[in-house]
Every structure is written in C-alpha cells, then in structure tokens.
Amino acid sequence: MNTPIKVILLVAVSVILVSSGYTMLFTGQTTKTNTSENNDAEKPEPSDTLAPSITSSTGDTMADAGTPVIITTTFSDNVAVTSAKLYYKPATALAWSSKSILSGSASLPLPADSNESWYYYIQIDDAAGNGPIGDPSTDGSSYYTIVVMNTPINPPDDNETNGNNGNNTQNYSRFVFIELGTKIVCSECPKISIILNELYNSGNYPFYYVSLPQDNPKALARINDYDIWGYPTAYIDGGYATLIGSSIQKSDFEKNITSAAGRITPRVFISTTAHWDNSTNIITIHIQVENHEGSDYQGQLRVYITEVISTKWQAGTPMHFSFLDFLVNEDVQISANDYLFINKTLSASDLDPENLMLFSVLFSTEKQTGYSQAPDKNPFEAHFVDAVNATRVIQGGNLPPEVGVQNPSVKYFHRFGKPVRKTMTGKTVVIGKTTIVASVHDDSRIEKVEFYINNKLMATVTQEPFQWTWHKFSFGKKTIAIKAFDDSGKQSTASIDVLAVML
C-alpha cells in the first residue's frame, strides 16, 4: 500500500474515533448506564402501611363571643399526612361543618350574639388511606368543648334567667376544678357521680373534676386535707364552695360552677402536654405556667394522675377520673410576666396510657377557712384554685369498659333479689335467690362479662342482659365481683361485699 492511501486511511480512522469520543462525552450515556436506569425505574415504591398519629391539640378551651378562636394541632406520619380536617358546630346544631387544618391551625369565628358552647374534633389521614385517625374521635361521638364567654357582667347568683328577654346570661372567665370525695360502700355516691358526669359530658359548663375514692389510700390523704365529714362531698375550686350529701341536686352544681367560673383570679395560665413512648413505656409530661401579672406569683401546683374509667375503685356506678396519685405536688414561684417549665416522666408499666388523664391545678397560697359540715363544723384550710388545665395522655385512646354492680344495691337489704330497705348497719344483705345485674358500657364493644363469688368464676355471659342468677347454697360474708372485657381485651372490675343467706 502506497503512502498516500495509508495517510487517507489513518485520517478516516482518526475522525471516527474522535467522533465516538465526542458522542460519549456529550451524552454521558452507555448501554450499561441505560440498563441501570431502566432497572431503577422498575423497582416498586415502598408500601405505606403505618397510620398517621395526632400528637397534640388545643383540647377544651374558652373564647370571647365575637372573636376568633385558634385551634392548633400537631400530627405525624411515616410518609405524609395528606388530609387534616377540623369538624365543628354550635352545641345546638345537628350537623358538623368542616375546614382544613392541614397547616396545623385553623380559626373559628364565634358569633357575637351567642353564648352557647361550640364543639369540635379533628380527623387526619395519609395518602395510603391508613386512617382516618381522630382526636378525640373520628366521627364526633366525642368532642372538645369551646366555652363561649359573652359580654362581661356580674355572674348570676342563682339559676334563674337574667334580663328581660329570658335568656340565661352567663360570664365564664375560667375553668372550675371539682374534687369529689367518694367511696365504694356509699349508697348515695353513685347519684352524685352520675350528675357530675352528665354535666361534664354536656359541655355546657366550664369545669373539670376528679373522683377521690376513700378506698385508695393516696386519695384518702387528699380527702383528709379537707377534714371530710361524710360521703359524698364535692369541693369546688379548692373549697370556694362545698356541696355535701345525698341532697345535692344538679342545679346546685350548675349554680356553684357558674359562680366559681366568674371569680376574679390572678392572670396565670397553665398548659400540659403528654407523650407516651411505646418502645420504652415512658410517658413524658411538659407543664408550662405563665404569669401575666405585673408582680411575682406564688402558688401550689398539683398534677393529678387519674383513670378516665376506673378499673377497680367502683361498685354501684362506674367511676370517672379516678385519682391514682400526684405527679407533682409542690410550691411554685414565677416572676412577673415570666414562664415556668416543668418536665416530668412517668412509667406506664402498671398503667394503661390510653386510660390516663392529667389535671394540672394551681392553688392559691392565700388561706381561707372552709367547712366540711355546714355551717361551721369540720373546718379546713382552703386554698382556692387560680388555674386548671387537663390533657389525655393519648388523645382518643381506646378506653376500658365501664362496669358497675347494679344489683344488689349497696347498703340495702334484699329479699329474693329485690331491694327492700336500707340496712341499719350499713351492710349489704341478700336473702334467697338473687340476680346479679351488671351495669356495663364500652366505647367499642363488650366481649364478655364474668361473675365471681369469692374469686371463683361462676358464670360468663357474652350478650345482653349481662346478669347471672345466684341460687346455690351460701351463707356468710361473700364478695361479688364482676369483670367486663371489651373486644380489645381490656378489662375492668367492680365488686361488692354482701352478707348472704342462700338455702
């Protein structure tokens, strides 16, 4: 091959090689790279199987008529919360309205010409539809209350209407705190418990309450602070008012709650949040106290640990917000226009976090004199309540069953299962065949109810009516116990001691 031909071939090969290099340089792609990208595109997206969760919300609150109330919430999801709605309505409305709260807050304008309470709940979901998750419910079966305050006036001193238009004009400036002294062997205590629970659930009055069962030594220690005379006794706002005995009426609570809610108190506020870590079974509690006064504030902070539904301290009627112990019980001092932060932890190893509610209460250091036996007997040192706040540890958690012994009745003499009269000794007596009747309710479904005599299982009932007839030979002191189980396996127990004669 001659030299010119060699030169031409060498130039042609060089052009081809250079052209290939430029192609690879500017496209940055090879056959191998394209294959890799195709493989990545074929990989399936990870599936989302975890439900979102609501970690906090405003809860029960108060607001002035004619002004907006801001509802806040925090929530999380392993991917993303894609839907968050605030459902709300006036107390008298039949249907719920809704708006987005995906940003974490929403404003509700309150009418200027109304003082009725408003209700709300929050519902969230993720893109995979692992919800809905609600706080405190997903469907409005339970809800938070916004107590609406109207134009400030002097609070009424009775239950009669005020003004010529016949409307009951109320001025709620704060929430009220009630401590109910009660016990298992108490024929009149169930009546008062029912009244308080109905008022609380109505949302018409701004108050919280705890039950202090004498049978719990730690609750008894608190009751002794009031030098209690008899059961039931309700102490309103630390002794600002005291209601005693079986003659207490619903109207008595309404009048005294209204009066206490209108009290002038220091401008101090308290908020409480709780978070349960299910991996460590530890509950972390954050308490914030704000002093908006121009001077230092001194008070006593008590944080009550309670069971929303008592699992053991009840007989005739299920007990609500039953006191277990104090998480905090200490004096506090806060500088003018300053804040106090308190962080606590609580082991949930022996507790049901879904059934826990915390009440944070600030008591005044100023001493007053109250009487547990009107008008001037059983005196006690009263410290009125300056502020109160409450929170569920797990918002909207599954509660254990409510259970009580409906029959036999505490402190009554029964003949063939029928209560005849109260006994002189305060004992519960049953003569002849007796039908044991359970009072049972649950937020989901009752799976079964067990009946025991002296810890021996006598019968298991899986459908209503939840009752069992006791007719076998028995004589002497016996303990009747009823255990209720819901469809999640949670249980509650109610018991009663009786003197039995079964022939």
Q: What is the DSSP string of 261-316?
A: HT----SEEEEEEEEEETTTTEEEEEEEEEE-SSS-EEEEEEEEEEEEE-SSS-SS
Topology agreement, domain 53-149 and domain 402-502: yes
The most confident of the ranges 57-61, 84-88, 152-156, 439-443 is 84-88
133 bridge partner residues: 124
Q: What is the pLDDT of residue 17?
A: 42
For residue 328, the tally of other CB atoms under 10 A from its CB is: 18
pLDDT of residue 271 exceeding 80: yes
* 258: pLDDT strictly greater than 70: yes
Q: What is the dihedral of CA 223, 224, 229, 235, to 10 degrees?
A: -40
Class of 173-397 in CATH: mainly beta
| pLDDT value of position 147 | 80
Q: Is the pLDDT of residue 488 over 60?
A: yes
Phi, psi of 263, rounded to the nearest 5 degrees = -65, 150
Within 432-490, strands assigned E span: 434-441, 446-453, 456-461, 467-470, 474-486
Give one DSSP letter per residue of 109-158, joined into a string: EPPTT----EEEEEEEEETT----EEES-SSSSS-EEEEEE-S--PPPSS
* Among 272, 291, 240, CA closest to 60: 272
Q: 163-211: per-residue pLDDT in tens?
A: 333 334 444 568 999 999 999 888 889 999 999 999 998 888 889 999 9
Q: Give yes or no for residue 363 having a pLDDT over 60.
A: yes
pLDDT tens for 5-25 read: 544 544 454 444 444 444 444
What was the pLDDT predicted at 3? 53
Q: Is a pLDDT exceeding 70 seen at residue 257?
A: yes
Mean pLDDT of the chain: 85
Residue with token string 């298992």: 184
Spatial distance between the Cα atoms of 270 and 341, rounded to a whole number of angstroms: 10
> Using CA atoms, how far apart are residues 211 and 194, in angstroms rounded to an integer?
12
Enclosing H/E stretch for 71: strand 68-76
- Residue 29 reports pLDDT greater than 60: no
CB 341 within 8 A of CB 285: no
**What are the residue boundaries of the structural domains of the chain, listed by start?**
3-42, 53-149, 173-397, 402-502
> What whole-number distance in Å separates Cα of residue 36 and Cα of residue 236?
73
Using CA atoms, how far apart are residues 250 and 441, in angstroms rounded to an integer?
A: 23
pLDDT for 212 equals 97
pLDDT tens per residue across span 203-241:
888 899 999 999 999 999 999 999 999 999 999 999 999
- Report how far Cα 98 is from the mean position of its chain's Cα atoms: 23
Q: Supply the pLDDT for residue 2.
A: 55
Under the banding of pLDDT at 50, 70 and 90, the label for residue 60 is confident
Please give the distance of CA 122 from its chain centroid, rounded to a whole number: 15
Residue 78 to residues 85, 130, 258, 281, 499, Cα–Cα distance (Å): 19, 11, 45, 21, 58
Q: Is the peptide bond before 408 cis (omega within 30 degrees of 0)?
A: yes
Give the pLDDT band (50/70/90) at residue 317. Answer: confident
Strands 412-415 and 429-431: parallel
Task: Give CA–CA dist 276/352, Å, rounded.
Answer: 11
d(CA 256, CA 253) in angstroms, rounded, equals: 5
Q: Which of 83-97, 156-170, 352-366, 374-388 has the lowest mean pLDDT?
A: 156-170
pLDDT of residue 67: 84
53-149 belongs to CATH 2.60.40.10: yes
Q: 92-106, 148-162, 320-334: which has the highest mean pLDDT?
A: 320-334
Prediction pTM value: 0.72
**Domain 402-502 homologous superfamily, CATH:** Immunoglobulins (2.60.40.10)
Quick one: CA torsion of 376, 262, 238, 158, rounded to 10 degrees? 40
| pLDDT tens digit sequence for 142-161 | 888 888 875 443 333 333 33
The token duo for 397 is 């958690």
Average pLDDT over every residue of 112-132: 87
